[in-house]
Amino acid sequence: NSGKGKIGDKILYPGAFDTGVSPADAKATLHKFIPFKISKEFTNVVDCALAAPLNEFLPSLKSEIKSWGLPKGVIKPKRGMKVVKVGRTTGKTTSVITDVNFRTMMDYKKKGLKDIRFKDQIWCEKRYTMPGDSGSLIIDKASGKISKAGRSFAKASDYDAMGPQARFVNCP
């Protein structure tokens, strides 16, 4: 819900965009998120949330990324790093990191918010994500480790941005 969610909100799978309906398709609840800071400064570093699976779905969970397997740890992102992600819309695609200190402003007006400014983002060459891929973990292709760049959340006509998931996972 991009800044409008509340702890305990139902998470659907498939999502509402993919014909999911509440409460029948509720598989988890919103567990944790970092609220946006509305500012003229570039202060935000993530747009993500963590969900807690409902107890009845715990036995069916798999600790792997479809078409990839288990990640082998974490690695710091760097320019020139070849990365892979597996997204809901585009499946398994690859790209190359071109910047590790990118600033961007995302338009959240359609969601009832203002422009949100992000800093310390990771920029990849070529568009390799599409709507529905948001949240995909970004993995270093060579080592199989999760890039601390983290997960895809924004796209432009020619490039994709990733947020630093390590900062989110370690948040208070």
**Contacts of residue 22, Cβ cutoff 8 Å, sequence gap at least 6:** 10, 12, 16
Beta strands in 34-112 (DSSP E): 49-53, 74-75, 82-87, 91-107
126-162 pLDDT, tens per residue?
A: 777 777 777 788 888 999 887 755 556 555 555 455 5
In whole angstroms, what is the distance from residue 95 CA to residue 84 CA? 6
26-41 pLDDT, tens per residue?
A: 999 999 888 888 889 9
- Nearest C-alpha neighbor of 121 from the set 133, 138, 108: 138
Distances (CA, A) of 140 to 66, 68, 147, 165: 16, 12, 6, 14
The model's confidence at residue 62, banded by pLDDT at 50, 70 and 90, is confident
Task: Decide the pairing of beta strands 91-107 and 115-125.
Answer: antiparallel
The model's confidence at residue 80, banded by pLDDT at 50, 70 and 90, is very high
**Contacts of residue 135, Cβ cutoff 8 Å, sequence gap at least 6:** 48, 151, 152, 153
In whole angstroms, what is the distance from residue 136 CA to residue 87 CA? 6
- Residue 171 has a CB neighbour count (10 Å cut-off) of 12
Quote the mean pLDDT of the chain: 80
Q: pLDDT exceeding 70 applies to what percent of the chain?
A: 84
Least confident of 35-39, 67-71, 142-146, 167-171: 167-171
| pLDDT at residue 111 tops 80 | no
